[in-house]
Structure 1
Amino acid sequence: METQRLERGRLIDHIQLVVVDLDASRRFYTAIFDVLGIPIAGSGADYFWADELFVSTADSAAAQGRLTGRHHLAFQAADRPMVDAFHRAGLAAGGVDNGAPGERSYHPGYYAAFLIDPDGNNIEAVHHGPARRSADSVTIEFEG
């Protein structure tokens, strides 16, 4: 029997992407999650999941026969080299460049890369620069 821990205080509980080509998505997400240190937690003939992201075919019971459309998902990276590695791994696994690794103007220290996954979703890895960690969160410190 599998047990899961419920974590309160998060904005997102889970996300489902319904995809056209599950094998292409599995290759892409396995490659980027390997770099980000996120294991594939489970899979079946018409789905797989990692952490709180569930990816399935339109034929799976959870999808109700409909594709999900286009989304932007941003995954946290521990450092800039991890963002760089995410971009390289995603390109090698069939992703399309949508923004090479680099600083963005969103706030000081925002370093990110963007890829288009096999279904057209905009997938990002971001490192927020120097941060102070607490037990429950990360506080970004910058002057502004």
Structure 2
Amino acid sequence: MEAQQLQRGRLIDHLHLVVRDLAASRRFYETALQVLGVPLGGSDADYFWADELFVSTAESHAAQGQLTGRVHLAFQAPNRAAVDAFHAAALAAGGRDNGAPGERPYHPGYYAAFVLDPDGNNIEAVFHGESRRSAPSVTIRF
């Protein structure tokens, strides 16, 4: 694997999905992520990765023989058009519709689409709207 630039301050460092059919998952994720501008970073016979997402077979060393359970992942999209393109690409690559592109009630400007990947994981692309993209960060103290 190649070294990647380390990003500090993120809640999630990486995510590992263990799948039944690596070829189907690679086709799905490579196609869906491509429209969001995220290329595959590398692959081998029993895994592939893109950015902080690592996907492998149950036989890979990292998986220890176990499939992951159902997971919900949300990928950030740069705009509404990218959400629409993600949904179309993911369906064309074997995903199943789990929510067409559209506004959601989570907060004003929340525009998302949902698809189920080949293993039934709920995969989302979301654009939070222009007001959320430029909003200053807030520190919350507990």
- Secondary structure of 1:101's partner? strand
- Secondary structure of 1:23's partner? helix
Following superposition, the deviation at residue 77 of structure 1 comes to 0.4
Letter in 1 for 2:135: T
Match of 1:139 in 2: 135
Match of 1:56 in 2: 56
TM-score (norm. length: structure 1): 0.90
Match of 2:99 in 1: 99
Superposed CA offset, 1:35-87 (max 9, x none): 00001000000000000000000000000000011000000001101100000
Task: Trace 1:1-144 onto structure 2 (pairs within 5 A).
Answer: 2-131=2-131, 139=135
Gaps of 5+ in 1: none
Letter in 2 for 1:111: Y
Following superposition, the deviation at residue 32 of structure 1 comes to 0.6
- Secondary structure of 1:26's partner? helix
- Secondary structure of 2:123's partner? strand
Distance 2:7 2:31 in 1: 27
- Secondary structure of 1:69's partner? coil
Following superposition, the deviation at residue 103 of structure 1 comes to 0.2
Distance 1:11 1:63 in 2: 22
Superposed CA offset, 1:5-49 (max 9, x none): 222110000000000000000000011111000010000000000
Letter in 2 for 1:102: G
Superposed CA RMSD in Å reads 1.7
Distance 2:3 2:121 in 1: 30
Distance 2:127 2:135 in 1: 13
TM-score (norm. length: structure 2): 0.91
- Secondary structure of 1:115's partner? strand
Distance 1:105 1:14 in 2: 28
Following superposition, the deviation at residue 132 of structure 1 comes to 6.1
Letter in 2 for 1:139: A
